[in-house]
Structure 1
């Protein structure tokens, strides 16, 4: 018994623990070991119920609570599993990757497409896989789903009907779970001591450019009095229409609003490629590298709350903190 690794399981809700039709939150802790008895063979497990919510109801306050719970018991466990609904799991994974720096053990998010109580559920495998991964030398925040371990800050939900609900385009899985667990060589290692900085400023907006989008509407959004940051989801490698929009963005940047540009397809931003992208560069925006929206949102929120000095904040936004940019 004493040789088993120790794993903290934090439950936040989601399909995995739901019951009934339509699905509603169930009693997760009581059914866990009965439904997945092999968990007790994999590790010594402590279950904590953080909340029991649909993941669409989770946000920055819950991200902070999760990070604090993980950090407060840092010396007591060898790994952590966060059970989470799939719809916003990638946002939470990104948030934890930025709030918890210097990780030397795994933080694994998982969930399910069908409840633990359902026939043909994927919940049992995902839970067992996640707990086993949490006992290994994998010092990253990851998403474990359908036999894959993905870097959390690069994962996206890409399917609502298949058991392979998540993917990480452009980045190979950190591990493959088949008859054996194959850990890949690009797992990141901590370069400094563990630190928890569980702060997020939610006063940001996400502007997704589309052809014909009215400039006056975007201008009004950029002039919101409490606005602190914007994720601008641009065309191509970072272009926007040749209009007065660039001057509105430049004015927002001059007022202190941080504007981060990401691409609609998740590829690398290049603000030197075209005239319409160089205009954004000259306006003072921050290129987002290869960040997905689900990583850019928590990173910008975290940067605004954690780095009041603008020069330091912009340097942080340009840094590849957890593998989110490159």
Structure 2
């Protein structure tokens, strides 16, 4: 018997989980959600209501741009009162960007939004898609004393539930494709799903969900490497309309001590460009006052990205700039954890 008071909406955007091999060409092609249900007959055994909608046409994750994020936010907002949770089927390549963006765009979220996908198409014998899909639905429907257990945007993959804006794709080959290096998993799925309530982010202000649909994409990522040329840095920092830069530095936030490099950064910040320092390392935090090579960045007006991922920093900047905030206000908000995306000491 179905639990009529519990319902989940599955939103199929595209990606490997919803693909099937063309018998003639051997190429993987998108197919619709009705066919997905045929490959996962276990969906019919769930004891709560399950509905679905899909992008038409489905999108590869490489094509999941900010406009698609806005579409997802719109779908969730328009169906927010009808469902207890949402599962988004998404390609893996840009899933961390999409999950990070939605964590900011869905202000005051009080229901689960679970991103998942697979490394192998769901029609293949060894697919990881079935377990990822079934467990994600179970998590999206999970409640304790009538309230959702995980009221935030997450990624579920290979038995781990991770905060969306703390997660990065780390593997293109294995099933454990995602990792949250700087924040522990919110839940682990074994025989039972073991939740960690103390780690879960919750809005406690009691305000209703507020959707944000406008992002400003005048943001670039500047990754440092030995031998980087002045002309390269100058060209990037001089891009027309540029408003923010995610500076990927070495170690705990270190950069070359070349006078021309610091000069370029100082001039850019004076022009109102917001520059945020994140580490190229998978784990760890930026500490610009630790070494002289980082301290010079701090003195040049560069912001610390703390322990945030590049994906989270990029989408947070797009989100704040989309509000039309002046540079000084954006800098202020980048130092604050909006949706659990950073650990501020």
| Length-normalised TM-score, structure 2 | 0.91
- Say whether the 8 Å CA contact 2:105–2:319 is kept in structure 1: yes
Q: Which residue of 2 aligns with 1:230?
A: 245
Task: Note the alpha carbon deviations across 1:39-89, whole angstroms, 9 max, x for none.
Answer: 231431221112411101111111111112111211111000000000110
Pick from 124, 147, 150 the counterpart of residue 138 of structure 1.
Answer: 150
- Say whether the 8 Å CA contact 1:42–1:131 is kept in structure 2: no
Q: Which residue of 2 aligns with 1:204?
A: 219
Q: CA shift at 1:155, angstroms? A: 0.9
The 1-side partners of 2:39 and 2:174 are apart by 22
Q: Which residue of 1 aligns with 2:18?
A: 17
Does 2:119 match 1:102? no
The 2-side partners of 1:104 and 1:304 are apart by 24
Q: CA shift at 1:310, angstroms? A: 2.9
- Say whether the 8 Å CA contact 1:50–1:66 is kept in structure 2: no
Q: Which residue of 1 aligns with 2:328?
A: 311
Q: CA shift at 1:34, angstroms? A: 2.0
The 1-side partners of 2:3 and 2:139 are apart by 19
Q: Which residue of 2 aligns with 1:177?
A: 189
Q: Which residue of 1 aligns with 2:265?
A: 249
Which stretch has the larger CA shift, 83-92 or 65-74? 65-74
Match of 1:3, SS state, is: strand
Q: CA shift at 1:38, angstroms? A: 2.7
Does 2:339 match 1:296? no
Does 2:95 match 1:65? no
The 2-side partners of 1:87 and 1:287 are apart by 26
- Say whether the 8 Å CA contact 1:39–1:131 is kept in structure 2: no
Does 2:174 match 1:162? yes
The 2-side partners of 1:240 and 1:163 are apart by 34
Which stretch has the larger CA shift, 113-122 or 36-45? 36-45
Structure 1 runs of 4+ with >6 Å offset: none
- Say whether the 8 Å CA contact 2:3–2:48 is kept in structure 1: no
- Say whether the 8 Å CA contact 2:273–2:327 is kept in structure 1: no
Aligned residue pairs total: 325
Pick from 34, 37, 51 the counterpart of residue 38 of structure 2.
Answer: 34
Q: Which residue of 1 aligns with 2:145?
A: none
Does 2:159 match 1:147? yes
Runs of 5+ in structure 2 lacking a partner? 143-148
Task: Note the alpha carbon deviations across 1:135-188, whole angstroms, 9 max, x for none.
Answer: 122111110111111111111111122111111112211011111111013111
- Say whether the 8 Å CA contact 1:8–1:46 is kept in structure 2: yes
Q: CA shift at 1:4, angstroms? A: 5.0
- Say whether the 8 Å CA contact 1:95–1:299 is kept in structure 2: yes
Q: Which residue of 2 aligns with 1:269?
A: 286
The 2-side partners of 1:290 and 1:53 are apart by 31
